[in-house]
Amino acid sequence: MDQIQDDREWSTQEPPYWLKPRIWLAKTLELVIAVVLFLWLPVAIVVSRVYKWVRSLLPWKRRRIVKDTVVVITGASSGIGECLALEYADRGAKVVLAARRENRLREVAEKCMQRGARDAVFLKTDVSKLEDCEKLINFAVDTFGRIDILVNNAGTAAVAAFEEYPNVPEFQKILDVDFWGNIWPTKFALEHLRRTRGQIVVTCSVAAFVPYPKQSFYNAAKAALLNFYDTLRIEPIGERVSITIALPGFVVSELTTKGPPGHIPKWWPMMETDEAAQRIVQAAVEEKRYIIVPYWYIFNLFYRTFAPELLDWPPRVFLLGKPPNKEIKMMCEMLLGEENTQKLFQKFTAFT
């Protein structure tokens, strides 16, 4: 009787997961998909290269005409934004400059006119405010009747570890400028850009895929921007509006030169702002999807994929003065003691 009861209980129980047909089917599909994608990768690279080459031969796809177009640029009072405005001025565009410092905007507008801009106007704008972004787009349309290119460049940063932020508003401000300060102008300008088959140029950052300490919210905002505009590109609007995402590394600007000592090593190579702006505008004219400046930052993508630890260790050692990981920390503490280990790694910060 007990044997019969045991058999009944066994028959009502679910079989182990390795005996479920669905589990085996899912595992098999996972393996097949992985193999197919791996084998397809070389072919996909060749197809992509051939497509780009053929596309470059088409006269109507070779480059975007900038002369007499209306270009709205946020964060145009200094740094990359100012240099982008001057680059578009060199190409004969009508520029609409936006930033918080009205006196600096006036100076940049005068420079644009001297450099060949068809016209240059400006509006004091705080991109962290929804109403200011709407006013900016309306101002551009009221002034010139259309918008051809929107350059989302405004940005800010704060250098502090996550746990060092005193309150929520401190890091909320970074997200309001670096993320929403791009999204809101895009939303208000989208219909105008659709009519002109226009373009969005985004100043993102290599921080979108490279972890760098003491700027967690800046990095997070840039990663969100990268994914937002990549998604926008494949949505219906992407058929009529081209998107170029610029991913600069450390470029000479207010964000990089006015930070606290040691945040960026003194010996770290930084590209001049005007050169970075020139490459970004050229990439936008050619309607490239991405432009990384300087180009060698692209190798960080390979490290992130195949050796992510190597992106973590140098900043921890040379910027934070900490052991690269807990295993090395434990080993050093066993050999040198906790206090001597701390002193040892603090000495590495002298290199910055």
Which stretches of 94-242 are DSSP H helices?
102-115, 130-144, 168-175, 181-196, 216-234
Torsion over CA: 202, 225, 175, 294 (sign): negative
Spatial distance between the Cα atoms of 89 and 27, rounded to a whole number of angstroms: 57
Look up 218 and say whether it is catalytic.
yes
What one-letter code names the amino acid at 343? K
C-alpha distances out from residue 57 to 2, 51, 61, 242, 287, Å: 82, 10, 8, 18, 14
Pick the closest to residue 150 from 93, 107, 106, 100 (CA basis).
93
Which of 88, 218, 229, 297 is catalytic? The answer is 218
Decide if 254 contacts 243 (C-beta within 8 A): no
Decide if 296 contacts 262 (C-beta within 8 A): no
Can you list the positions of beta strands (E) in the chain? 70-74, 94-99, 119-124, 149-152, 199-203, 242-248, 290-293
- Compute the radius of gyration of the chain from its Cα atoms: 26
Active site residues: 218
